[in-house]
A = this chain, B = another copy of it.
Amino acid sequence: MSPNHSISLSAYLEERKKITDDALERYLPPEENYPPVIFKAVRYSVFAGGKRIRPILCMASAEAAGGNVEPVLPVACALELIHTYSLIHDDLPAIDDDDYRRGRLTSHKLFGEDIAILAGDALLTEAFRLMSEIRLMEKIAPERLLAVIRDIAEAAGYFGMVGGQVVDVQSEGKTVESEVLHYIHTRKTGAMITAAVKAGAILANTGEVELNALVSYGRNVGLAFQIADDILNVEGDPTLLGKGTGSDAKRGKVTYPALMGLEASRKKAGELMESALFAITHFDYRADPLRMIAKYIVERKF
């Protein structure tokens, strides 16, 4: 980072998390709405202490492209709603069968499987409602909003996140080729992280060359994020993670450390971070948060 614009990473992430949380608080209906259980379930999972990395990347990308945070907020929050829905459905007994997430009971353990399924469905639906809000169009051209909705839907759907999850589920307990592992990681986590960066850039009205650079940054950071997650699942601190380590191995999940070992996984994550930084070399100081986040993603402890 340029010394003139130096800010602390933790202060930056905390400020951006707060901006996201405040916006989510405004966008989500209060629990008093009828029927209360669905709004309770939705808020329980959305406000479960997530790092808000997708919204933060979306905002940082918009700023790197010369835009502002405020008009990007609904889309940034929609990304978090989609992420939250995917966690609720992944935790279901029929999929990962997890009782805890971030140290708290999962949605189906607290509200029942029926409500957890429906809360996930509601969050996914609400993400698209939020992005198509008419009042957004005062600040953003509707063509751009539509392009962003399409990109995000593609990243979340059967050619993206859902496809990655399907292959992940089907690969459990099996030996898979590195191509399959790459497919899972780039789709399951990578696609939505790339979409977050791309959405910020499009909403900020960036040009083609800058857009491609930011998408390249997003792809590298997205894959690095998942590899770092895999590594943390092996050697992370359970107290910081809010869940036990070793769960991937127990479940026979395909991961980078399982396939190529911890050392090679760390090396790969580091290389991806370097590639992400290289992609945005020509951006000015406004891309410093993106640079900081790339390092954070690989070096984080939870």
Interface residues of A (CB under 8 A from B): 29, 33-35, 37-39, 42, 85, 89, 92, 94-95, 108, 112-115, 117-118, 120-122, 124-126, 128-129, 132-134, 137, 141-143, 145-147, 149-150, 153-154, 156-159, 162-163, 165-167, 169-170, 183
Contact = CB atoms under 8 A, between A and B. Distances in A.
Given A94-B112, A142-B143, A146-B137, A165 B128 contact: no
A37 B170 contact: yes
Nearest to A28: B158
Nearest to A160: B125
B125 A167 contact: no
Nearest to A37: B166
A173 to B, nearest CB: 14
A157 B117 contact: no
Given A112-B94, A121-B162, A156-B125, A35 B167 contact: yes
A89 B141 CA distance: 35
29 contacts: A33-B158, A33-B159, A34-B163, A34-B183, A35-B166, A35-B167, A37-B166, A38-B166, A85-B121, A94-B108, A94-B114, A94-B117, A95-B114, A115-B166, A117-B117, A121-B124, A121-B162, A122-B162, A124-B125, A125-B157, A126-B153, A128-B153, A129-B153, A132-B149, A137-B143, A137-B146, A142-B145, A145-B146, A146-B146
